[in-house]
Amino acid sequence: MEVPVEQKIPLGALAELLGGRLTDPAKAGEIISGVSSLDAAGPGQLAFLWKEDYAEAAKRSEAAAIVCREPLPGARAPQVLVDDPQAAMLTLLGQVHALRHPPQAPGVHPDASVAEGVHLGEDCSVGAGAVVERGARIGARSQIKGLAYVGRGVVVGEDCTIHPGAVLLDHVRLGDRVVIWSGAIVGRDGFGFVQDAENRHTRIPQVGGVVIEDDVEVGPLTTVDRGALEDTVLRRGVKIDAHCHVAHNCEIGENALLVGYARMGGSVRIGKNAYLLQDAGVSSGRSVGEGAILGTCCHALHKDVPAGATMGGCPARPAMQHRRIEVSLARLPEMRKQLHRLEKELAALRARD
């Protein structure tokens, strides 16, 4: 990653910024202009080592300097020694990101549509083409970016970012530091219908809401449905990737993580610190316990998942059992041939009698 010219910085100053110690003070004046991986880094670029598994790669690296915890004997590049290399990386990348993606200027763009009665907090911003409907409240320093939609009575907390094209439908409530990515739809009516005597489907009015607590992130093209009566709730610290679906009346516990294409039916309960990996699914009314992990393509269809369990397969099974089944499935063609051979041998033995 090449850092723009105005962000270039001497290695010695960078070491001070990260609270580290440079092992070769003679290199303090070398200019750092980018950040990259250990394998890809070259002259003028910084690399990070936070797992000892990659120590040999760090020693071979062509980086201008390596940020790490302990000295690396035999490394060609000088090192910046810090207590926590991963935290140092996040600090540096956070500053680079802030420079590359500055916030919108406070205020309402002339091409935005903001209805009467909207409360705009201090230093918040509304971008070009964004729509904010009557009764909405936008907290201090929050950004409603271009072409985003904020419905009637929506509450957006402080320091939130609603990215271009994101949709917050009526009466959704967001805490502080919430990020809603482009194309996400929050507050759609849940998928609830009843069938009449003539088998026609009639929508059940969904009068609940969506409550999203502090520090939650909702990925692009993800949908979060409002509840039928009670609210759908995303607790503090939940992170949701792209293309996920949270159905009506679900509750996602604190710091739970939903990876791309994870989805669930209505009234699901996900415990705090649980993980739903790629394409995992949870059937309506089921629960996933605290700290549990549903592996890729794992579907909890018929049973609740206990706390701390690691599950795989469809339907969900304990991960070790799922692995044994997968190994056995791979042997089925061979086992089928063996079975046919044994059946022939048994038939021959019976014929002799």
Where residue 29 falls (left for φ over 0; alpha for ψ -120 to 50; beta otherwise) is alpha
Residues β-bridged to residue 21? 81
Q: 224, 205 in Cβ contact below 8 A?
A: no
101 in catalytic set: no
* Token reading at 45: 């670029």
Q: What helix, strand, coil percent values describe the chain, rounded to 5?
A: 20, 25, 55
CA dist list (Å): 1 to 7, 47, 78, 91, 93: 12, 11, 20, 16, 11
CB count within 10 Å of CB 1 equals 14
Q: 304, 286 in Cβ contact below 8 A?
A: yes
Round to whole Å and give the CA distance between 215 and 159: 10
Which one of 163, 171, 245, 248 is the catalytic residue? 248
CB count within 10 Å of CB 53 equals 8
- Lookup result for tokens 């010695």: 12
Strands 31-32 and 9-10: antiparallel
Round to whole Å and give the CA distance between 237 and 161: 15
User: Quick one: which of 163, 218, 158 has its CA closest to 186?
Assistant: 218
Catalytic residue positions, numbered: 248
